[in-house]
Every structure is written in structure tokens, then in C-alpha cells.
């Protein structure tokens, strides 16, 4: 039996059937590491980048361990965004549908009718998936009973921290058994997350998957200089020239998202927007419009867009570089999915140079292009002046040979050496000038 196949985990037949239906041929690295740990009932932290198969790394073993004959809550999965919670729920339903014995799963997210959620809880589901705020509300209302659960998943934990949801997760965990299996998945493990991990996890297994490449091979990273142009005009021209299947324009704040979206709409483009101030109803409407291909362009902030699966993104445009450069990788990772090619283009100004150098040190290889009269033209590397070898004149060479650092140095010796060299260079230039007459 090949050791890189799912059969090695000895999962229940319905799980193996679901795996075949999902066209998974072999486990990803994070699945290979985490599935055996979760099957054993141990607590664990899994750190890996977006798109490495984290969701199925915990869904497959958790669903395998559910007892269909026990009509109590057995597992709680908390996700930071409604869209991500719903995606996890849909994936769980696909797997459950292959089981002859009924396994019940429910999704509870903010922005929906809470009373309707409470009415659904007359029969407790075996798996609860949702956003921490809504799950905690239902627990406080004594409608949802999590004290029977043996497993808690905290997905995208760093994002939970950023969005201020860790308090809700803390309260949910506080109502659960002491011997709880806690599974934390995160792209990064910030310092501020560590007190939570220490509080609930005693000697957890820790598995980290280093990305083999910082960015997918089939993503082209493009730099486009603003030069003397108006930035919004350049963005408009880029979007029209690229004519993407679907492009996401990333900005750093909700205010900038609205400003850019409004200006693009004024210029005649049909644009959707995703940020924290978009109401749940409008957000749902935008997501439907995106899936129905009504928009060719979306303006989004990082936190709002992370955790949302938008298929078919061909282009990412960084209108602003993210303040946290790790988010550049998350942004770029929205394109070139499922083996497709993609472009991540960044509009940059001289002030962005330090951030670009740091991204290059992280392994991003940029190509420099510019739009000239509606055509993409490859331009010289932005660092060409810096990298140009310095030419040393004959006069400078002679001055360096004749003026050496003294064995015993006194204060101001460097200045004195420079003055002597300048005199020699001046004298050499005069000689050269006389000879050329």
C-alpha cells in the first residue's frame, strides 16, 4: 500500500468514498501530518499557508470520529468570516452525504435570523460550524449545548485575533469539557495568540508546513510604476488593458475601498466591493453577483477578502502594498488556483521601495512593466542605477595609489586624505588637459 495515499489513515468507507468523489489522489503535507494526530484525539496546532488543504486536514478525521448514534454536539468548528464558515459547512455536507447513517451538521453565522437558528436547535446537531459571535450568542441563550463536544477547531486563528473574535472563542471554549481536543489552524502564530494557546492547550502537537515556494510557480509578479500619472487613471487603464476574467483590486482600508470603487464606477466600470462595513445583506448579494459573473472587478480589503473563495480570479492588482507584507502572499494566492495561471500586479511609487526589497528577500521575483499608449512594455529594472558598476576615473586611481592610510592615525585623518586626493586629481586633470591641446 502506497504510504502517500489516504488509505494509510484507515478512514471509514464513507470518508474514502467522499475522498474519491472530491478527486483527492493523495494527502497534502499538512493533511499527512495532522490527520493521524486528530484521529488519535490529540490537540494540535497546524501552521501553513492558505491553499494547503487545511480544511480537509481537520474535516476528514473529525467526521470519521463522529458517532452517528449520539444526538449531542460532538464537534465545534469556528471560522472568522461568514463566507469561510459557509464554505467549511458546504464541504462537510459533501462528505456527510456519502454516509448511510445520518450525521447532522448546522451552520450558524452572523447576519442571519437568530430566532430561526434557535428554533433549529430543538434537535442539537452533531457538528456545529459557524462564526464565534453567533455560536457564543446561541450558547449564552442556552439554545446550543457545547458542553458535550469533545473537539473544538479554531480556523484561521491569526485572523480571529485581528478581527477581535478571540474573546468569543475563549468564552465558547470555557463552556466545553476540560479534556477537550483543540485544533488550531493558522497561517501565522502571532505573539498575542500565544496566551490563548497556553490557556487551553497543554503540550499540543505542533506541525508546520513551510511553503516550498513563497508564491505559486504559475503567478507572474508585475511591478507598474505610477510615474507622473494619476494613480486611479493608471488603475483604470490597467484593468481595461488586462480585460481580466475576474480581477480583485486590493487596498488597505474600508475608506480607500469605497473611494477606489466609487471612482472606477464613475469611469464606467461595473465594480463590486468587499470590506468590513458592507452590510451582511449587501455582502451576500455581492458574493452572489460575483459567482454569477456580474462583476469583472472587485475592490477589497485584506481581512474582508481572506477566507472568501472566489473562483476564477485571473488578476490581482495591489493598488496599495499591504502594511503586513505576509498579506501580499495571501493576496497573490487568490489567483492561479487549481493549476491556472495568474498575474499579481503592483502599482508602486518610490516610497514603496523598502517594502519591495523586503518582498524580494522573501523570494518574490518581480518583472517590471509599464503601460505606454495602451500597450504593455517591459521596462528596465527599477534598481538599475543602484546595480550599475561604478566606474573609477584614471585620476581617482592615481590619487588612491599615492595617498594611503597612515600607520598612525590622528583625528581628522580621513578629511586630510580626501583633500590630498582631490589635489592630485586636480593636478592630473590639468596635465591631461595640456596633453590633449
Name the nearest CA neighbour of 347 among 211, 260, 223: 223
Using one digit for the tens of pLDDT, what is the confidence trace for 292-323? 888 999 999 886 666 566 778 999 999 999 88
8 A C-beta contact, residue 301 and residue 310: no
C-alpha cell at 283: 455582502
Using one digit for the tens of pLDDT, what is the confidence trace for 120-135? 999 999 999 999 999 9
Backbone angles phi, psi at 71, to 5 degrees: -85, 45
Neighbours of 35 (CB within 10 A): 21
User: Distance between CA 410 and CA 378 in Å, rounded?
Assistant: 52
User: Distance between CA 205 and CA 189 in Å, rounded?
Assistant: 14
Q: Which residue has the cell 505542533?
A: 206
Burial class (CB in 10 A: 0-12, 13-18, 19+), 27: buried
User: Distance between CA 290 and CA 271 in Å, rounded?
Assistant: 10
pLDDT at 354 over 60: yes
Name the nearest CA neighbour of 19 among 43, 52, 53, 47: 53
8 A C-beta contact, residue 132 and residue 165: yes
Backbone angles phi, psi at 357, to 5 degrees: -60, -40
pLDDT at 212 over 80: no
| Predicted pLDDT at 415 | 78
Rounded alpha-carbon distances, angstroms, from residue 11 to 53, 64, 98:
17, 6, 13
Lowest mean pLDDT: which of 53-62, 110-119, 328-337? 328-337
Lowest mean pLDDT: which of 67-71, 306-310, 413-417? 306-310
Average pLDDT over residues 205-213: 77
Lowest mean pLDDT: which of 16-20, 136-140, 142-146, 206-210? 206-210
| Predicted pLDDT at 390 | 53
What pairs with residue 162 in β-bridges? none
Read off the pLDDT band of 203 (50, 70, 90): confident
The pairing of strands 375-378 and 366-372 is antiparallel
- The residues near 232 (Cβ < 8 Å, ≥ 6 apart) are 260, 263, 264, 267
Query: Tell me, what DSSP letter sits at residue 390?
Result: P
8 A C-beta contact, residue 77 and residue 129: yes
Q: Which helix (H) or strand (E) holds 358?
A: helix 353-361
- The residues near 4 (Cβ < 8 Å, ≥ 6 apart) are 26, 27, 32
Lowest mean pLDDT: which of 12-26, 79-93, 300-314, 361-375? 300-314
pLDDT at 38 over 60: yes
To 10 degrees, the CA torsion angle through 164, 180, 130, 21?
A: 130
| Predicted pLDDT at 419 | 82
Using one digit for the tens of pLDDT, what is the confidence trace for 230-246? 999 999 999 999 999 99
| E strand spans, 86-159 | 105-108, 127-130, 151-154
Prediction pTM value: 0.63
Lowest mean pLDDT: which of 177-186, 353-362, 394-403? 394-403
Using one digit for the tens of pLDDT, what is the confidence trace for 161-202? 878 899 999 999 999 998 899 999 988 787 888 888 888 888
User: Distance between CA 384 and CA 363 in Å, rounded?
Assistant: 19
Read off the pLDDT band of 3 (50, 70, 90): very low
User: Distance between CA 199 and CA 180 in Å, rounded?
Assistant: 12
Kindly state the percentage of the chain with pLDDT values over 70.
Answer: 92
Q: Which residue has the cell 486536514?
A: 57
Using one digit for the tens of pLDDT, what is the confidence trace for 364-394? 899 999 999 889 999 876 765 444 455 567 7
Lowest mean pLDDT: which of 258-262, 358-362, 408-412? 408-412
Query: Tell me, what DSSP letter sits at residue 408?
Result: S
Three-state secondary-structure class, residue 213? coil
| Predicted pLDDT at 437 | 59
User: What is the residue-averaged pLDDT of the chain?
Assistant: 87
Amino acid at each position: 500500500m502506497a504510504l502517500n495515499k489516504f488509505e494509510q489513515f484507515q478512514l471509514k468507507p464513507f470518508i474514502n468514498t467522499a475522498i474519491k468523489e472530491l478527486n483527492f489522489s493523495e494527502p497534502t503535507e499538512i493533511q499527512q501530518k495532522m490527520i493521524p494526530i486528530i484521529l488519535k484525539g490529540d490537540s494540535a496546532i497546524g501552521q501553513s499557508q492558505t491553499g494547503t488543504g487545511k480544511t480537509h486536514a481537520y474535516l476528514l478525521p473529525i467526521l470519521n470520529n463522529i458517532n452517528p448514534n449520539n444526538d449531542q454536539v460532538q464537534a465545534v468548528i469556528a471560522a472568522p468570516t461568514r463566507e469561510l464558515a459557509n464554505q467549511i459547512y458546504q464541504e462537510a455536507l459533501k462528505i456527510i452525504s456519502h454516509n448511510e447513517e445520518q450525521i447532522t451538521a448546522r451552520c450558524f453565522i452572523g447576519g442571519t435570523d437568530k430566532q430561526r437558528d434557535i428554533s433549529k436547535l430543538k434537535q442539537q446537531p452533531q457538528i456545529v460550524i459557524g462564526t464565534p459571535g453567533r455560536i457564543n450568542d446561541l450558547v449564552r441563550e442556552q439554545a446550543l449545548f457545547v458542553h458535550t463536544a469533545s473537539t473544538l477547531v479554531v480556523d484561521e486563528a491569526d485572523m480571529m485575533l485581528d478581527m477581535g473574535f478571540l474573546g468569543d472563542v475563549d468564552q465558547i471554549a470555557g463552556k466545553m469539557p476540560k479534556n477537550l481536543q483543540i485544533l488550531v489552524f493558522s497561517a501565522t502564530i502571532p505573539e498575542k495568540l500565544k496566551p490563548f494557546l497556553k490557556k487551553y492547550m497543554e503540550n499540543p502537537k505542533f506541525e508546520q508546513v513551510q511553503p516550498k515556494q513563497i508564491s505559486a510557480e504559475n503567478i507572474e509578479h508585475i511591478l507598474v510604476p505610477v510615474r507622473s500619472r494619476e494613480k486611479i487613471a493608471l488603475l483604470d487603464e490597467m484593468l481595461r488593458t488586462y480585460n481580466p476574467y475576474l480581477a480583485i483590486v486590493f487596498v488597505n482600508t474600508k475608506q480607500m475601498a469605497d473611494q477606489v470603487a466609487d471612482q472606477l464606477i464613475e469611469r464606467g466600470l461595473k465594480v463590486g466591493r468587499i470590506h468590513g462595513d458592507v452590510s451582511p445583506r449587501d455582502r451576500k448579494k455581492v458574493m452572489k453577483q460575483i459567482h454569477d459573473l456580474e462583476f469583472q472587478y472587485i475592490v477589497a480589503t485584506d481581512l474582508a477578502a481572506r477566507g472568501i473563495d472566489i473562483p476564477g480570479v485571473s488578476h490581482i492588482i495591489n493598488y496599495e502594498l499591504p502594511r503586513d507584507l505576509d498579506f501580499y502572499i495571501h493576496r497573490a494566492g487568490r489567483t492561479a488556483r487549481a493549476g491556472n495561471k495568474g498575474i499579481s500586479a503592483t502599482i508602486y511609487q518610490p516610497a514603496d521601495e523598502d517594502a519591495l526589497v523586503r518582498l524580494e528577500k522573501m523570494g518574490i521575483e518581480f518583472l517590471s512593466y509599464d503601460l505606454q499608449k495602451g500597450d504593455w512594455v517591459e521596462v528596465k529594472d527599477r534598481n538599475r542605477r543602484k546595480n550599475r558598476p561604478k566606474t573609477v576615473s584614471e585620476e581617482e586611481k592615481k590619487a588612491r595609489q599615492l595617498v594611503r592610510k597612515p600607520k598612525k592615525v590622528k583625528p581628522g585623518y580621513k578629511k586630510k586624505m580626501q583633500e590630498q586626493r582631490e589635489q592630485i586629481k586636480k593636478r592630473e586633470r590639468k596635465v591631461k588637459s595640456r596633453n590633449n591641446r
